[in-house]
Structure 1
């Protein structure tokens, strides 16, 4: 019997956090993205303490980063997070960050290639992208996330085409990406394949690029043929960490992130999602909602030398607890269940 989640949806729709209300309104209730109600809410998100902290926080002395990928305070992650929380599209004040991100991920080192018949240490990254056993060893999640973020934020330009071109060039025969530099690695990485898939799908939606759409659909098979978390050979769980939802996921993969991606791609009713959807429903807390069963960030808003070079977030995302509902995880869970026709 399907569970009545009306009270949970109502709670999220009345959250103190405008981004939670946006997720519930657009992704759960199904409000038109272009309605006045949604546009007004996105303006509230633009002015919210969370968005302001994410943007202004980059100017604080201890988080002023020239490295776009500094966890989780570089320009790359600021744009990624803004795209995730419903920040309104087309904000020209984000252009300097966009330029910084594109300049880095389209740097000359990503156009150089070299072949090797043995493992390549990371310090050789400046030489370009290694090709080992006929496969490009490149962290596709980086260019993929950049492409996805700037597209969703409505600040993509012609250089987005170059990100898509790099990703399709590096795509592995099975459809995904992997930066493992050991010759024995022959299967795509879930961590490295989810964001390129989403980036290419968003790019294809914006540009009508059939090749990008085909590449994204090919990448989806990496996940669907493994039922989002199971081995193809014996059906065992590939990683127990994937069964524990977290928020934000950043570049990490988990089962809920896989389901969110499949919902966005219109593939949530593929048979390959059924086991993950069943498990997600079993994870619902007795009083409703879902927990964040771990986290990848530390929160710091002041100079702290002990955490300066750690994975610092300028904002809190509700923490983690196996027994306490997390609004961000719950909004994502309801999103995929609604897309699969399982909300009520």
Structure 2
């Protein structure tokens, strides 16, 4: 392990929030303990995400309310590695799965033979519920099958009724691919894995962030490193999904990996370069967690960047 990586790992292991320490121990150091397994729910981040939970497992109002609805809280809980057997977490997962499965009664509009679905909503819910113990629920199976049936020929998904069918939405496809990956990992569902792999191939066809013709960045915002990404596409979030698909060694991922390495600070950490959320007292897009302001070293961005670079063989954790 080089000096910069050792410093970054130490920083994560000393984080104030036990969820970060738990993830760093499990994924970067390779150790678990009883304290690690129970600690994540005791920290300030998870406590904030579970604050105000109601009897039905939700948090009042629209589950998709940005970013304080039950849907977004559950995705964050899943990404923080909370234990599925925590009764509060289980209740939140049940609430979200019931809500998203109920919505399957209303299939997406089909325009020129292509479903125009908000698949990232369904994919995020599927991924979180699969991580949190509900992959074997028949509602999760129906959800996965619906998502697969909405996939476009190029491997992605799109909600735009005006899209001509030439290209699906990278935003809509990223979290959908993640949800299918998580469901496939939990159940062995080959159709879900195949659909996720097709989406990963779509990203790689564009070298993660480049236009097919000119090679220029498709969108400058995709080059930033926010956390959380929510439903937005960006290079780091895409590389995480590519890594989970076992494709970080594909040559077409090299440009994005180079970009991620270039963003690394001299001290081995990464900044959050953008943020989609605002403080909890904001009137628009408030968050219940302070994930760290843009322009500062960020715990989750650093953790995710290390995950990706380790998977790609560009960072070693060996002493």
C-alpha RMSD of matched pairs (Å): 1.9
Please show how residues 101-250 of structure 1 align to structure 2 within 5 Å.
101-107=96-102, 110-112=104-106, 128-156=107-135, 157-250=137-230
Q: 1:46 aligned to 2:41?
A: yes
Runs of 4 or more consecutive aligned structure 1 residues displaced over 6 Å after TM superposition: none
The aligned counterpart of 1:313 is: 287
Cα distance between partner residues in 1 of 2:232 and 2:150: 20
Deviation track 1:121-175 (CA, whole Å, cap 9, x = no partner) reads xxxxxxx411112110001100100000011122332211011011011010111
Residue 74 (structure 1) aligned to one of 66, 69, 72 = 69
Structure 1 unaligned blocks of 5 or more: 113-127
Most deviating of 164-173 and 147-156: 147-156
TM-superposed CA distance for 1:318, in Å, is 1.1
The aligned counterpart of 2:92 is: 97
Cα distance between partner residues in 1 of 2:128 and 2:246: 19
The aligned counterpart of 1:119 is: none
TM-superposed CA distance for 1:3, in Å, is 7.2
Residue 57 of structure 1 contacts residue 314 of structure 1 at CA under 8 Å; is this kept in 2?
Answer: no
Cα distance between partner residues in 2 of 1:176 and 1:111: 22
Q: 3-state DSSP class of the match of 1:131?
A: strand
Structure 2 unaligned blocks of 5 or more: none
The aligned counterpart of 1:116 is: none
Q: 3-state DSSP class of the match of 1:181?
A: coil
Cα distance between partner residues in 2 of 1:152 and 1:334: 21
- Give the count of matched residue pairs: 311
Deviation track 1:218-274 (CA, whole Å, cap 9, x = no partner) reads 111110111110112221100100101000111111100011111122221122211
Cα distance between partner residues in 2 of 1:224 and 1:40: 39
TM-superposed CA distance for 1:19, in Å, is 2.0
Cα distance between partner residues in 2 of 1:98 and 1:87: 12
Cα distance between partner residues in 2 of 1:28 and 1:335: 8
The aligned counterpart of 1:255 is: 235
TM-superposed CA distance for 1:58, in Å, is 4.3
Q: TM-score, normalised by structure 1?
A: 0.85
Distance verdict in 2 for CA 1:87–1:13, change over 3 Å? same
Cα distance between partner residues in 2 of 1:7 and 1:93: 35
Q: 1:271 aligned to 2:251?
A: yes
The aligned counterpart of 1:8 is: 8
